Chain A
Amino acid sequence: MTAGLVAALVVACAVVAVGVFGATWRRDVSAAVATIPVMFAGACLAFVGVARFAAAGGTHLLGQEFAVLLVVAAVALVALGLGIAGREGNR
């Protein structure tokens, strides 16, 4: 058994699509905000897969670096979205 770049990209695409589906299908805005990290997870997996399998010589870790920045941005987006929802939910 082995796994390559195509397997990583297919899983990443599926995760992004599930995130897009949740963000558009949910009637609750807060629940839709919670699906944003799911989309980011798919993007992270794609970046890490490219850094692992398609790095042209040497240790090119830019994909891993971008994945780290993406997950931090996902946490910030969820905090901001839920904070705004908490503020608006009382009006």
Chain B
Amino acid sequence: MDSLHATGFYVSSGVLLIGALAVALLPGREQRGAGLLAVGLGLAGACYSLSAGFAGAVAFVCYAGCAVMVAGPRYRSIAGTAGVAWRQAGALGAALVLAVLVYSSWRGNFVSAPFKGGPFNAVALGRLLFAHDVVATEAIALFGLLAIVGAAAGWRFRERTR
């Protein structure tokens, strides 16, 4: 990886981490939506730096959609039932997950190989998605369809009961 791509990767990673922290910590839904947009932008930039331009473009579009849903007027907040002790235990678990994953990544002995693909890879990915692994693609498409139908039904139910 040359210096320009490495710089792009680190800058995009910074945007990604700032957006993730904004989603996790900021109070307002508009701020969380902006954070999700920053996550999408950072992920797209990081993917492009890693020669995965098509995956980055798909990620940016999908995360922009998530940001619109989170920041939109149909957003409703529901108070959770977990106590403070469980939430604190969850936060400690997140710190433990971070420590274990970073240690295993840092100390791991990975085989490195040269990458021979292009920067965008849309054709090769299309062949994988629609020819080699078409069942997985159709399963995800079915799941997405069911989720959108369920979301529409949920929002419609709320509108009717007003």
Contact = CB atoms under 8 A, between A and B. Distances in A.
Given A14-B17, A69-B136, A83 B23 contact: no
Contact of B55 (A1, A24, A67): A67
A2 B4 CA distance: 9
Interface in B78-103: 78-80, 82, 86-87, 89-91, 93-95, 97-98, 101-102
A59 B124 contact: yes
B129 A65 contact: yes
Interface in B54-84: 54-55, 58-59, 62-63, 65-66, 69-70, 74-80, 82
Interface residues of B, number: 94
Contact of A21 (B24, B62, B154, B158): B24
A31 to B, nearest CB: 7
Contact of B147 (A37, A41, A77, A85): A77
Contacts, number: 292
Contacts of A5: 110, 112
B16 A11 contact: yes
B126 to A, nearest CB: 10
Nearest to A66: B136
Contacts of A13: 97-98, 101-102, 105
Given A22-B23, A53-B112, A78-B69, A61 B121 contact: yes
Interface of B: 1-3, 5-7, 9-10, 13, 16-17, 19-21, 23-25, 29, 32, 36, 39-40, 43, 46-47, 49-52, 54-55, 58-59, 62-63, 65-66, 69-70, 74-80, 82, 86-87, 89-91, 93-95, 97-98, 101-102, 105-106, 108, 110-113, 115-117, 121, 124-125, 128-129, 133, 136-137, 140-141, 143-144, 146-148, 150-155, 157-158, 161-162
Interface of A: 1-11, 13-32, 34-35, 37-38, 41-42, 44-45, 48-49, 51-59, 61-62, 64-65, 67-69, 71-80, 82-90
